Amino acid sequence: MLAAIDAEHADTIWCLGDVVGYGPRPNECCAVVDARTTLCLAGNHDLVVRGDIDIEDFAGDAAEAARWTRSVLIPEASAFLARLEPQAQREGVELFHGSPRDPVWDYVLSEQVAWLSLRATTAPVLLVGHSHVALALRDEDGKGIGGGLAPAGTDLELAGRWLLNPGSVGQPRDGDPHAAWLLLDLTGRHASFRRVEYDVAGTQREMKEAGLPKALARRLARGE
């Protein structure tokens, strides 16, 4: 994914959180994101790993993965996670891991939540993560919400106000297992949703070797 970004000569890279949580290389992920991004938010998995959220608030496989991640995290990675906040603002953009209603936990997966999120903000572009689902939702001048899922190849002219979710790099949940990212041109008011292949089988193998839950590995191949 980073190679694809470099090929586009992007000015900067933003990450909407959950750098760690499910995968077998949390320390490497922290190092790469720290080195390559100018902005990174804290996701709920980052917060539980660093101790801000009680691990009992997580269930099943997610809790087991969080405990494993805590056990292998090196000091440099912990220091990186400690600096992160779940929301931020840049010129023309408001960014949340969850949503403006709850920057940590709220999922934007319905028109109602999207409408409430846009009402709670003023920036032309609202970026959210958390759901692992790529979305492009627009404000229809107070008449409701338009748009929906944003599969690979979705290109948009950003007239009016938009809520965008780039999708997930490491664990997409929209049926497409390819790593998802969003190319955003704020000056030209254009957005392009992209996907790239990565070594899913290799990641599954590393998860098995680490003793992470089998279900978390299996879902990678299905994008769910």
pLDDT recorded at residue 143: 80
The tens digit of pLDDT for each residue in 124-183 reads 999 999 999 999 999 988 788 999 999 999 999 999 999 999 999 999 999 999 999 999
Q: Evaluate whether 21 touches 43 at the Cβ level (below 8 Å).
A: yes
| For range 26-55, the mean pLDDT | 97
pLDDT recorded at residue 136: 97
The tens digit of pLDDT for each residue in 201-213 reads 999 999 999 999 9
Task: Specify the number of domains making up the chain.
Answer: 1
pLDDT recorded at residue 46: 98
Nearest to 24 by CA among 202, 147, 146: 202
pLDDT recorded at residue 144: 87
Tell me, what amino acid is at 212?
L
Higher local confidence (pLDDT), 124 or 224: 124
| Residue numbers of the domain that contains 39 | 2-220
Residue 122: pLDDT band (50, 70, 90) is: very high
**At residue 107, does pLDDT exceed 80?**
yes
Q: Is the pTM of this model over 0.75?
A: yes
Tell me, what amino acid is at 58?
F
Higher local confidence (pLDDT), 27 or 142: 27
Q: Evaluate whether 166 touches 176 at the Cβ level (below 8 Å).
A: no
Q: Evaluate whether 164 touches 136 at the Cβ level (below 8 Å).
A: yes
The tens digit of pLDDT for each residue in 43-95 reads 999 999 999 999 999 989 999 999 999 999 999 999 999 999 999 999 999 99
CATH of residue 46 = 3.60.21.10
What stretches of the chain show up as alpha helix (H) in DSSP?
2-7, 26-36, 44-50, 60-72, 75-82, 111-119, 200-210, 214-220
pLDDT recorded at residue 142: 72
pLDDT recorded at residue 59: 86
Q: Spell out the residues 6+ positions from residue 81 whose beta carbon is closer than 8 angstroms to its own.
A: 19, 20, 30, 42, 46, 49, 50, 73
